Amino acid sequence: MPETRTITLRINGREEEGRFPAHRTLLEALRHLGHMEVKCGCEKGDCGACAVLLDGMAVDSCLTLAWMAAGKEITTVSGLGDLDAPHPLQKAFADGGAAQCGYCIPGIIIAAKAIIDEHPEPSEDDIRLGLSGNLCRCTGYTKIFEAIADAADDMRAEGGAP
Amino acid sequence: MYAPFELDIPTTLDGALAALANGGGETVLPIAGGTNLIVDIRAKRERPDRMVGLGEVDELLGMEFGPERISIGGRTTVSDLLRSPEIAHEAPSLIEAARLFGGLMVRNTGTVAGNIASGSPAADLVPPLLTLDAELTLASASATRTLALDDYYLGYKQDARRPDELITRISWPRLPENSANTFYKLARRKGDAITVTGVAVTLSVADGTCSRARIALASVAPVVRRVKEAEAVLEGQALTPALIDEAAEAAASTCTPIDDIRASAGYRRHTVEALTRRLVTQAWDRLA
C-alpha cells in the first residue's frame, strides 16, 4: 500500500491535520476535513468549482496534491466571510442575484477575489479573462460580471477591504 | 484520485534530479503544475509509480534578461509570463498565447516547461517559442545538455526528453531591431478552449527585405512545428502580396491536420492559409 502521511493544512487561518496518501488531491482532502463549500465539478481544470486560494493565488484544488499544499495558506470561500460578516463579493453576489443554483459560486468568488487583488479597478476584459476558468451552467454570466464590478467598487470605496 | 502513487517533494534541483534518476524500473514522473498530468493520471493515460513534485525547487524559477538572450526557469508559470513587462516587450507572441491559455487557475499553476514537455499538438506556448528560436536546457543527475526546441518533438506525444531529465530552462535570443512577433489562437471560445488552429509568426526586416522569417503552427500536425517551406519563400525577399500568398499556400499544403471534435481537417487547412497570410501581411506592413 502507498505511504500515508499526516500533514498539517492551514485552512482559513486554522491548522487542521489529516492523514492522506500521496495521490489525494487538495479537493478531496478539504472535503474530507469537512470543507464542503469547496465543490467538485469536472476534476479536469475546466470548471473552476473547486478553486481555492493557495498563498493568495487561485488554484484548482482538484489538480493540486494535498501534500504539496502543506504549509501554505489555504483560503476557501468560507474564509472570506460568512452570513454575519460577508465579504463585499459575497454581498454583491447576493444583492445582485448573481447565483442561480449556486454550485459554481464558491469557485467564482475565489477567482473574483484573485481578480480584484490583482486589478483593484478591473476592466470588463480583466473580469472575463480572470473568469475564463470558471463555468456556470445556469446564468449568462452577466450578473456575475456585474457583481464583481460592484464588489470592486465597494472595496475601493471602503479603502481596501480584506 | 484513483491510481495510487508515491510522492517525493525535493527542495533542490539536485534532489529532484536524483529522485528522477533512482527509478529502478519504476515509472517516475516529474510534476510541476499538474494541470495536464493529474488529468492524465485520473484518466489512466499515465500510470506513475512515483512522482517527483517540483513545487519547492526554486532553482527552476526566475527570468533573466541578458544583453543577448532571455532565459526563463522551467517552472515559470503562464501567469508569470503575463505579469512580466519585459516578456511583453520582448516576446509579445508569448503574452498573446498566455492570455488565452486555459483558465485563470490553470494559468497560475501550469508551467512553460510543462506545456512543452506534455507534447500536445495544441500546446499554445510552443508556436511562439519555436518562432523565437527557443532552446531548452535538459538536466539529469549525470549531465546537462541544450537542445533546440525545433529538435525536441519526435512524433505525436513523443519527445527527446529522457525520463530522468528535466527541462530546467528555456532561452531564446533577443529579437533583432525591426522585428514583429505575433500569435493567433483560433478556438471555439476566447478562454479555456483547446486550439483549433494556432499560428505564430516572427518576421525581421533589414534593408527593405525580410531578413528572417519564422512560422510555426499548432493543432494541424502530430506535433507543433515550424513550416520551413513557407519561411523559405519569404526570407531574403521584399515581400509582395503574391509572395505572401505563396508562403501561406506552402504552410497550408505542408500541414497535416485531422478531423476531430473541434474542427475538420479542411477547415484547419483553410485557416492556416488565411491566418498565415494575415499575420505575415500585418508584420510586413508594420516593419517595411
HEC string of B6-36?
A: EEECCCCHHHHHHHHHCCCCCCEEEECCCCC
Q: Does residue B216 contact residue B130 with C-beta atoms inside 8 Å? A: yes
**Is residue B1's pLDDT more than 80?**
no
- Give the per-residue pLDDT at A160: 54
- Confidence band, pLDDT 50/70/90 cuts, at residue A140: confident
Please state which of the four CATH numbers 1.10.150.120, 2.102.10.10, 3.30.70.260, 3.90.79.10 is assigned to the domain occupying A80-157: 1.10.150.120
Q: What are phi and psi of B139, to 5 degrees?
A: -120, 140
CB of A111 within 8 Å of a chain B CB? The answer is: yes
pLDDT at A161 over 70: no
- State the DSSP H helix or E strand holding residue B199, giving kind and residue range, or none if neither: strand B197-206
Q: Report d(CA B107, CA B129) in Å as an integer.
A: 17
pLDDT in tens, B217-266: 999 999 999 999 999 999 999 999 999 999 999 999 999 999 999 999 99
**Nearest partner of A20 among A44, A38, A2, judged by Cα:** A2
Is B190 near chain A, with CB under 8 Å? yes
Which of A25, A65, A141 would you mutate first to test chain B, the one with the most B CBs within 10 A? A65
Burial of residue A72, with CB atoms counted within 10 A of its CB: 0-12 exposed, 13-18 middle, 19 or more buried: middle
Phi and psi torsions of B111, nearest 5° = -110, 160
- Beta-strand ranges (E) seen in B54-140 are 63-65, 69-73, 135-139
pLDDT of res. B246: 98
* Chain A residues inside the 8 Å CB shell of B105: 45, 48, 51, 58-60, 63, 111, 133
How many percent of chain B have pLDDT more than 70? 99
Residue of A nearest to B98 (CA): A129
Q: Do A63 and B192 touch (CB under 8 A)?
A: no
Where in chain A do CATH 3.10.20.30 domains reside? 4-77
Nearest-angstrom CA–CA distance, A78 and A90? 10
Tell me which architecture the domain covering A4-77 has in CATH. Answer: Roll (3.10)
How many angstroms separate the CA atoms of B97 and B116, rounded? 13
Q: Compute CA A36 distance to the chain's CA centroid, rounded to the nearest angstrom.
A: 12
Q: Identify which of B99, B105, B190 has the shortest CB distance to residue A45.
A: B105
Residue in A57, A133, A135 closest to B106 by CB: A133
Residue B213 has pLDDT above 70, yes or no: yes
Of chain A residues 120-149, which have a CB less than 8 A from chain B? 128-135
Distance from C-alpha of B284 to C-alpha of A21, rounded to nearest angstrom: 56
Q: pLDDT tens across B193-207, in order? A: 899 999 999 999 999
Q: Where in chain A is the domain with CATH 1.10.150.120?
A: 80-157
Q: Which residue in the set A3, A59, A67 is minimally distant from B105, CB to CB?
A: A59
Beta carbons of B105 and A28 less than 8 Å apart: no
Q: How many residues does chain B have?
A: 288
Across all residues in chain B, what is the average pLDDT?
Answer: 96
Whether A48 sits inside 8 A of B105 (CB atoms) is yes
Which DSSP symbol is given to B208?
A: T
DSSP conformation class of B193: -
Tens of pLDDT along A59-95? 999 999 999 999 999 999 999 999 999 999 999 999 9
Q: Does B55 touch chain A (CB under 8 A)?
A: yes
Which three cell numbers, joined as nine digits, stand for B31?
510534476
